[in-house]
Structure 1
Amino acid sequence: MITVVVVAVLVIVLVTLRYAGRGRARGSGRRGLKRRFGPEYESAVACQSGDVRAAERELCERVRRHGSLQEQPLSPEVREQYVAQWDAVQERFVGSPQKAVTEADALLARLARDRGFPDGEQFEEQLAALSAHHAYFVQGYRSMHAAARDRSGTEEMREAMVEARGLFEALVAERQVDPDRRRPPSPDGQGHAPWPLTTRRHAKGSST
């Protein structure tokens, strides 16, 4: 009788530990995904109509497919070319917002490709890969891509370009951004990022 009781107690303890371990694993996995993807985690949940498990499966699939991707370095010359091209696109925005946004969208796609991400012709695939490494900045690219294809208002296009610059700077950086420092800079006191942004040309002493 005593043996039966002892065995029963051991079974209960083992079952309890097993479920507790599963609960900790699920919690740790969710916290890890939230930390890695930041706002993209909430975006994925929204796209799945609030289905958290479906969103987490999708994000885990992105990590599985693209998490091991090694970003390719840019030569100093190529980096300077991209910076100059982005500055030029920003300057053209005042006279031709729609054309500037379209050019910036194509520029980001090329830059991502040169860094080793999937080609921009498959936008969703490229975005999924980028989100596994630069999750805090991909919403800006998504917004600008949409603005480049829709008839958006000038203010909406301006905000999309401002937001997309975070991804541009992350991709054009000489070193990979630390995962804990991938959040975009805070906007100004009124809740809007500055425009036009300070360019490399201004930083060298321009009066504007």
Structure 2
Amino acid sequence: MSTAVIIALIVAAVAIVAIVAFMTVRARRPRGGRNLKQRFGPEYDRAVARHDGDSNAAERELDSLVASYGDLRERPIEPAERDRFEARWTAVQERFVDSPREALGEADRLLAEAAEARGFPDGGRYEEQVEALSVHHAEHVNGYRRVHRAAHTANGSGSGTEDMRVALVEARALFEDLLTPDRRDTGRHRAPAGRATASDTARSGHRPGLFHRHHPKHG
């Protein structure tokens, strides 16, 4: 066998090994990394941060969430039930002026109930509920986390009035998302988080300036 043939065989063998190694690594990587980033948005970045910058580990976690909750179909909310939820949220915002911590506790319960009404795990399984919400409402689920954390922190330590206000504004965006019927298909213009459209104001009696006032911080 000539030297040229031997060299050709060696090159071919190396190429085959390289291809096998590449395919093996590719098969082990989480699928759809770019799609995951598009789907989860800010939740993708939070997952990467939780894993100290390891995007592969973060994508495995997010892949697992999609496998667990991706097929969940949100139930519609009847108009009368939606009106009751909206009235309760308006009361939460009004209560915040005098009792911000109690208002956050009620907002936490209200979000849990609204999520359960849409078909997510019940509020008694908070972690599961948030995981499922992160798959379907990734843009706003962190507001729920902030409200829940502030509502369940002993004596509210570390949560000043302004922090609680911001948490409630963020949580409202998730609340509106949960109450929007057929949110993927409506194309309805949505007001930015923390603001109300004219129709929102007329329907719920919300005072748009409520969360733009300066409130002195408590203790």
2:47–2:58 CA contact under 8 A, matched in 1: yes
Could you say what the CA RMSD is over the residues aligned between the two structures, in angstroms?
3.3
Indicate which of 163, 166, 172 corresponds to 1:165.
Answer: 172
Query: 2:202 is matched by which residue type in structure 1?
Result: A
1:87–1:199 CA contact under 8 A, matched in 2: no
Q: Which runs of 5+ in 2 are unaligned?
A: 208-219
Corresponding position of 1:112: 115
How much does 1:107 deviate? 0.1
Alignment of 1:70 onto 2:69? no
How much does 1:44 deviate? 1.0
Indicate which of 98, 106, 126 corresponds to 1:103.
Answer: 106
Identity %: 46
Corresponding position of 2:131: 128
Q: Considering only CA atoms, is the larger Rg found in Structure 1 or Structure 2?
A: 2
Corresponding position of 2:215: none
How much does 1:49 deviate? 2.3
TM-score of the pair, normalised by structure 2: 0.76
Q: Which whole-Å CA distance do the structure 2 matches of 1:131 and 1:60 have between them? A: 12
Count of aligned pairs between the two proteins: 197
TM-score of the pair, normalised by structure 1: 0.79
3-state SS of 1:122 partner: helix
Corresponding position of 2:49: 46
Indicate which of 136, 151, 176 corresponds to 2:183.
Answer: 176
Q: Which whole-Å CA distance do the structure 2 matches of 1:90 and 1:207 have between them? A: 8
Cα deviations by residue, 1:155-202 (Å, 9 ceiling, x for unpaired)? 110000000111101100011336xx9xx9767xxxxx56xx568663
The 1:35/1:161 distance shift into structure 2, 3 A limit, reads same
The 1:185/1:84 distance shift into structure 2, 3 A limit, reads closer
Corresponding position of 2:39: 36
Corresponding position of 2:211: none
Alignment of 1:85 onto 2:88? yes
The 1:56/1:15 distance shift into structure 2, 3 A limit, reads same
Q: Which whole-Å CA distance do the structure 2 matches of 1:11 and 1:205 have between them? A: 70
2:120–2:133 CA contact under 8 A, matched in 1: yes
Q: Which whole-Å CA distance do the structure 1 matches of 2:9 and 2:150 have between them? A: 68
Corresponding position of 2:217: none
Corresponding position of 2:202: 203
Corresponding position of 2:212: none
Q: Which whole-Å CA distance do the structure 2 matches of 1:70 and 1:157 have between them? A: 31
